[in-house]
Amino acid sequence: MPVGLVVVSHSRALADAAVELARGMLPGRDLAVGVAAGDVDGGLGTDATAIADAVTAADSGDGVVVLMDLGSAVLSAETALELLDDDLRERVVLSPAPLVEGLVGAAVTAASGAGRARVAAEALRGLAPKQAHLSG
Amino acid sequence: MSAVDAAALTAWVREFARLAHEQRDALTRLDAAIGDADHGANLDRGLTAVVAALEAQPADDPAAVLKTVATTLIKTVGGASGPLYGTFFLRAAGALDGDDGRALATAVRAGYDGVVARGKAERGDKTMLDALGPACDALDEAVAAGESLDDALRAAAAAAAAGRDATEPLVARKGRASYLGERSAGHVDPGAASATLLVEAAATALAGRG
């Protein structure tokens, strides 16, 4: 099973659109990406318990890489780690990558069957093509 | 009567919820000046849910009360104060061992350390730590000096308020307010203001317990 991916965002619409964009890189392949986005009322916000649930659902034994937007998304993702079982926590990587570019890199790499360290590394490299292009 | 039993902790949190509701607009005004104008609304929503959760599932175990507060805040606040206050109560729940003033001081200190670790902030960054830190110090000192729980919590509340007021001239180095740089000076920090309510609520709700 591939490494699990979870997107954490203040906005459900933003998270779903980022997932759609990443899936576009993988035509004909069904890569599961969990989403934990928005507050309990459907407004802008993040919820660590929802993140913990999404991470638990996304893990198939090979761990999970979590991509997030900013601010409380980061704090909530870290808080979610505290809510997980000890053995699962060790298999979760919180990626500092930018959400959109990182998710595309992670999705393509996860779909190839790479391990979570490699998936996380490729997520982090997601910004490199844009940086190289605009600095040229 | 045990000083710091489940009923006392429930009363503390209920009083915090009452104060946050009463001060909701004032907290939001502070946040409008240097943040995203949602602190009062977020905290009020979270604490309203906490009061409902404690009524739906009253706990006899003091640590279980704090755990319920933590998970409910994490779930319902939405903004950064959710994981920050949630972590405070989560760590306090884990450290609570006993029902006297010393146990409360130890639990509150563990909660404070959790907020430091979660927010990666220090005192002087213009955050809730500027009220919570002095309150922890005052509580520890008073308990170590053998003062009553009443006096210790009154000292902690006074220290929190002084710390809150001292955030006004500071330049924010964490959270949304840090984007404003120098323009964040001249406003009291909303997180320090709500953290002061948390400590004042303890002084009020636990009065007469020791």
**Smallest Cα distance from A27 to chain B, Å:** 35
Write down the ipTM of this complex: 0.83
What is the tens place of the pLDDT at every residue in B74-128? 999 988 999 999 999 999 999 999 999 999 999 999 999 999 999 999 999 999 9
C-alpha–C-alpha distance, residues B153 and B172, integer Å: 28
Q: What is the DSSP letter of A2?
A: P
Find the residue in A nearest to B89 (Cα). Answer: A79
- Reduce the DSSP state of residue B120 to 3 states and report it: coil
B-chain residues near A48 (CB < 8 A) = 74-75, 82-83, 86
Q: Which two structure tokens, joined as six digits, stand for B150?
A: 């009443």
> What number is the average pLDDT over the span B124-136?
97
Of B177 and A64, the structure prediction assigns the larger pLDDT to A64
Q: Where are chain B's structural domains?
A: 6-205
B-chain residues near A44 (CB < 8 A) = 78
**Smallest Cα distance from A67 to chain B, Å:** 17
A-chain residues near B76 (CB < 8 A) = 39-40, 47
Torsion of the alpha carbons at A51, A55, A56 and A59, rounded to the nearest 10: 170
Contact B83 A78 (CB under 8 A): yes
Torsion of the alpha carbons at A100, A106, A110 and A112, rounded to the nearest 10: 100
Q: What is the mean pLDDT of chain B?
A: 95
Regarding the domain delimited by A4-135, which CATH topology (the fold level of the hierarchy) does it fall under? Rossmann fold (3.40.50)
Architecture per CATH, domain B6-205, reads as Alpha Horseshoe (1.25)
Is residue B192 predicted with pLDDT exceeding 70?
A: yes
pLDDT confidence tier of residue A15, bands split at 50, 70 and 90: very high
C-alpha–C-alpha distance, residues A56 and A53, integer Å: 5
Percent of chain B with pLDDT over 90: 90
Cα–Cα nearest to B189, from B124, B143, B133: B124
* Beta-sheet strand order (sheet of A4-9): A33-37, A4-9, A64-68, A92-94
Q: What is the pLDDT of residue A39?
A: 86
Angle between helices B190-205 and B149-165 (to 10 degrees): 160
What is the tens place of the pLDDT at every residue in B61-75? 999 999 999 999 999
The reply to whether A69 touches chain B by the CB within 8 Å rule is: no
Active site residue A133: no
Q: What is the pLDDT of residue A13?
A: 97
Interface test with B, best of A72, A83, A84, A94 (most B CBs within 10 A): A72
Q: What is the pLDDT of residue B2?
A: 63
Q: What is the pLDDT of residue A32?
A: 85
C-alpha–C-alpha distance, residues B76 and B44, integer Å: 10
Q: What is the pLDDT of residue B209?
A: 86
Is residue A71 predicted with pLDDT exceeding 60?
A: yes
C-alpha–C-alpha distance, residues B140 and B156, integer Å: 9
Percent of chain A with pLDDT over 90: 85
Lowest-pLDDT choice from A41-50, A52-61, B147-156: A41-50
Contact B82 A72 (CB under 8 A): yes
Strand partners, A33: A5
C-alpha–C-alpha distance, residues A82 and A108, integer Å: 29
Q: How far is CA B143 from CA A133, B151, B204, in A?
A: 61, 9, 17
Q: Which two structure tokens, joined as six digits, stand for B197?
A: 């309510």
**Smallest Cα distance from B146 to chain A, Å:** 35
